[in-house]
Every structure is written in structure tokens, then in C-alpha cells.
């Protein structure tokens, strides 16, 4: 496939997802149905699309990594007849069990998405409803936004579908995406749909950056992170919408900078996601890697190439960019530059992660932002809106 020359600056996309059988936790039938749907729609984890072969030479892999310890299993308790320890009855035992958090129930095997974070900042109760009841179908406006992102991606990326047979291979494809995207950035000054991953406050976060570009000033090696939003009407975004988008791009910067600093916790990654670093990749995956002049046999080889690629990158600039486009003709409505504020980011993330980890109940939107409820798919079942008249909402 012929490589595509980079276009003028702008950004983003959506990716096709792939569903594969995975080991899940013991949950209710309703929760299992939703988990299957979530795994099927998980773009960053289940995307098997990558950049075109024979475009960039990739780094050799040689760093060995010890196999992480096997996951611990919960065993049932039993008491011998001679034991003096009191035995709790079943009802008492059930009451003492801590209910699983949303993170444990719905994101244990793939980490929190950046979009999970922004959804929680918009309205935690809506996020909870979406997890428990299932997300509603995409609206026309959401579909138009996805199509625009796909078109932007196609300007610089040509996707190749690779069959995957395991979670190890799904992660290998994600790391290939990052490796080749990093090379494209360094050689051409622009790349799109860059997967990023890292740990924030003990929680794994994964996401895909719409666009990473090198500054026009060649004296700087610090790339600029860009996120593109599409709008149905030619109206400026509200402050609530901008705040939500700023959180998203600041979190991308946090993850990008962590990778650029070579802080990826490799052993913890294998252990948390229950992956075998010595897993032998399929011939399809190895054949694709060979087309990139990348000799790999195991997931460990790919991860080593990923961490090597990170070492060539610089932290992103503190100036971040949001681009707002009109869906009908892709015309630019606004460019919103803002500065990275790590203290504000950590304050926001602390509250959001409490919600996901079960440390607090889901909160509703503030009275000043109650207008959000008019556009919520769960308006009829939400306690603060279901009992009020449409005029009161």
C-alpha cells in the first residue's frame, strides 16, 4: 500500500472493534450481557487495525522480562470439627461482603477508557445508568462525528485488518499502532489515532489521541496534542462542554508524558491484565511485523519495541488544542488553546476515581447545569427528572 502524505493540521477518528471470547468474572446474566457488549465496542482494546506495512523500520526487541506471578484465586472457607472459631451463618456472611465497584464489574479486564472519565465528569449518574442498563444507540449527530474522525484518520492512515486470537495479540496490535504512529510523528511531523496507556492513582487508563503534531517551530521537539470535536449547529460550545474536553486532552497529555518519560510499568501491566509476556504470536501477527522489518515472536518482544519507541519521544507542550468543526461542511468553528493544569487534573481525577472505585455514590449534575438532563437518554428513569414535568427540567 502506498503511504499517504500528511495533510494540513486537523484531527481524529473512530476504529472498528473486534469481539473475542475472554474469561470474565462471575456476575449476573444482565451484567454479563452488558460486559460482552462493552468488550465488543471497546475501540482501544479491541481494534485490530493498524498503519500500512513497509512504511517505517521498527526497533529491534531483546530485553527479557520475567513472567509475572499467576493471579490469586479466592477459595471458600471451611472449619474443622475441632475448631474453636465461631462460624458465621450464610446471612451474616452475605452482609459482610463488599459489593463490587463499577471498575471491578465493568472495566477490570481492560482498564478505564478516557471516555469513561469524561462521561463521569459530564454526569456520574448518567455514566452509572449506561453501565448498568446498557448504552443507548448512537444518535445521528454522534454518527456524523464518528464519520468525520474516520475521514481525518484516513488522510494519514490506511488501516489493515489483522486476525487476532487472544488478548495478548489484541494488545500487540495496539502497541504496533503506537510504534508506527510514533515513527510517523518523528518523520512526517503528524500522526493520528495514537493509543496511549498509563496508570493514574493506581488505576489503568487507556485512550486514543485524535492528533499529535510537531510544532511549526523546528527548534522545539515537544509535540502538540489536539482533539477535534464536531458540532451539529454552528454555535459555540458551552463552558461545560469545553471543561469536559479540556479534561480529556489534559489526561491524554498525562498519559503521553508518562510514556515519553519511559515510566511504563511493564511487569504490572502483565499482571493486572493477566497477560503472558511469553505468549507466542500467531503467524498473521508475525507476518505483519516482518513487513515493518520488526522481528517479533512474543508479546514481550512487542512491548519491548513499544518501550524503546517511547524513549525517542519528548513530553508534549503545555499548550493544548481543541478544534471545533461544523458537521455539515467540516468548516472550522473555533480553535481553543488552553494550558495544562496538573493540579486541576488531579483534583478532577480524584473525585472521578472515587466514583469508579466505589468510594462514593454517583452524583447528579449541578443545578446550574441541569440543562444537560434535557438531552439525557435516561431522563425518564433518573430520580431527579422522572418525577418532574418537562417544564421543570
Joined together, the cell numbers standing for residue 106 give 465493568
Task: Write down the pLDDT at residue 388.
Answer: 54
Helix (H) / strand (E) element for 227: namely strand 224-231
Mean pLDDT over 140-159 rounds to 72
Reported as a single tens digit per residue, the pLDDT across 352-384 is 999 999 999 999 999 999 999 998 999 889 998
Q: How far apart are CA 106 and CA 35, in angstroms?
A: 6
C-alpha cell at 18: 473486534
In this prediction, residue 158 has a pLDDT band, given cuts at 50, 70 and 90, of confident
What Cα–Cα distance (Å) separates residue 328 from each residue in 7, 145, 147, 231?
Answer: 20, 10, 11, 9
**Among candidates 383, 25, 24, 48, which has minimal Cα distance to 195?**
48
Classify each residue of 46-55 as buried b or exposed e, where b means 16 or more C-beta atoms within 10 Å of its C-beta.
Answer: bbbbbbbbeb
Q: For the chain, give the mean pLDDT.
A: 79
The pTM of this model reads 0.73
pLDDT at res. 148:
75
Cα separation, 253 vs 264, whole angstroms? 15
Residue 297 in this model has a pLDDT that exceeds 70 = yes
Choose the weakest-confidence range: 82-91, 103-112, 143-152: 82-91
Residue pair 25/32 in contact (Cβ under 8 Å)? The answer is no
In this prediction, residue 150 carries a pLDDT of 73
Per-residue pLDDT band at 136 (split at 50, 70, 90): low
285 has pLDDT over 70: yes
Q: How far apart are CA 58 and CA 55, in angstroms?
A: 9
User: What pLDDT does 8 receive?
Assistant: 45
The CB density around residue 265, as the number of other CB atoms within 10 Å, is 13
Mean pLDDT confidence for 3-7:
47
Is 138 a residue whose pLDDT tops 90? Answer: no
- Alpha-carbon distance 266 to 297, whole Å? 17
Name residue 326's beta-bridge partners.
231
Amino acid at each position: 500500500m502506498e503511504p499517504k502524505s500528511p495533510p494540513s493540521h486537523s484531527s481524529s477518528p473512530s476504529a472498528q472493534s473486534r469481539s473475542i471470547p475472554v474469561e470474565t468474572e462471575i456476575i449476573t446474566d444482565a451484567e454479563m450481557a452488558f460486559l460482552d457488549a462493552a468488550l465488543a465496542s471497546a475501540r482501544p482494546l479491541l481494534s485490530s487495525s493498524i498503519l500500512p506495512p513497509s512504511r517505517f523500520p521498527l526497533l529491534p526487541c531483546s530485553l527479557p522480562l520475567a513472567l509475572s506471578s499467576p493471579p490469586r484465586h479466592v477459595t471458600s472457607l471451611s472449619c474443622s470439627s475441632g475448631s474453636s472459631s465461631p462460624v458465621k451463618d450464610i446471612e451474616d456472611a452475605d452482609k459482610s461482603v463488599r459489593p463490587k465497584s463499577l471498575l471491578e464489574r465493568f472495566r477490570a479486564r481492560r482498564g478505564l477508557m478516557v471516555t469513561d472519565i469524561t462521561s463521569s465528569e459530564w454526569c456520574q449518574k448518567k455514566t452509572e445508568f449506561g453501565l448498568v442498563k446498557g448504552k443507548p444507540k448512537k444518535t445521528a449527530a454522534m454518527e456524523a462525528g464518528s464519520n468525520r474522525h474516520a475521514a481525518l484518520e484516513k488522510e494519514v492512515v490506511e488501516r489493515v485488518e489483522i486476525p487476532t486470537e487472544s488478548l495478548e495479540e489484541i494488545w500487540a496490535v495496539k502497541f504496533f499502532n503506537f510504534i508506527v504512529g510514533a515513527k510517523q510523528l518523528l518523520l512526517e511531523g503528524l500522526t493520528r489515532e495514537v493509543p496511549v496507556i498509563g496508570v493514574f492513582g493506581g488505576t489503568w487508563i487507556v485512550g486514543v489521541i485524535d492528533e499529535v503534531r510537531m510544532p511549526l517551530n523546528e527548534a522545539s521537539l515537544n509535540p502538540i496534542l489536539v482533539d477535534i470535536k464536531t458540532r451539529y449547529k454552528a454555535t459555540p460550545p458551552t463552558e461545560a462542554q469545553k471543561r469536559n474536553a479540556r479534561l480529556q486532552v489534559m489526561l491524554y497529555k498525562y498519559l503521553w508524558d508518562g510514556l515519553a518519560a519511559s515510566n511504563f510499568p511493564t511487569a504490572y501491566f502483565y499482571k493486572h491484565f493477566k497477560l503472558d509476556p511469553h505468549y507466542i504470536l500467531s503467524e498473521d501477527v508475525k507476518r505483519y511485523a516482518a513487513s515493518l522489518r520488526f522481528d517479533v515472536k512474543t508479546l514481550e518482544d512487542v512491548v519491548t519495541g513499544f518501550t524503546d519507541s517511547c524513549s525517542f519521544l519528548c513530553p508534549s507542550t503545555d499548550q493544548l488544542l481543541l478544534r471545533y468543526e461544523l458537521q455539515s461542511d467540516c468548516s472550522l468553528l473555533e480553535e481553543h488553546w488552553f494550558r495544562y493544569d496538573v493540579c486541576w487534573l488531579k483534583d478532577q481525577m480524584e473525585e472521578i476515581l472515587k466514583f469508579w472505585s466505589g468510594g462514593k455514590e454517583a452524583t447528579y449534575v449541578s443545578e446550574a447545569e441541569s440543562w444537560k438532563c434535557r438531552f439525557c437518554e435516561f431522563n425518564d428513569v433518573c430520580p431527579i427528572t422522572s418525577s418532574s414535568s418537562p417544564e421543570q427540567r
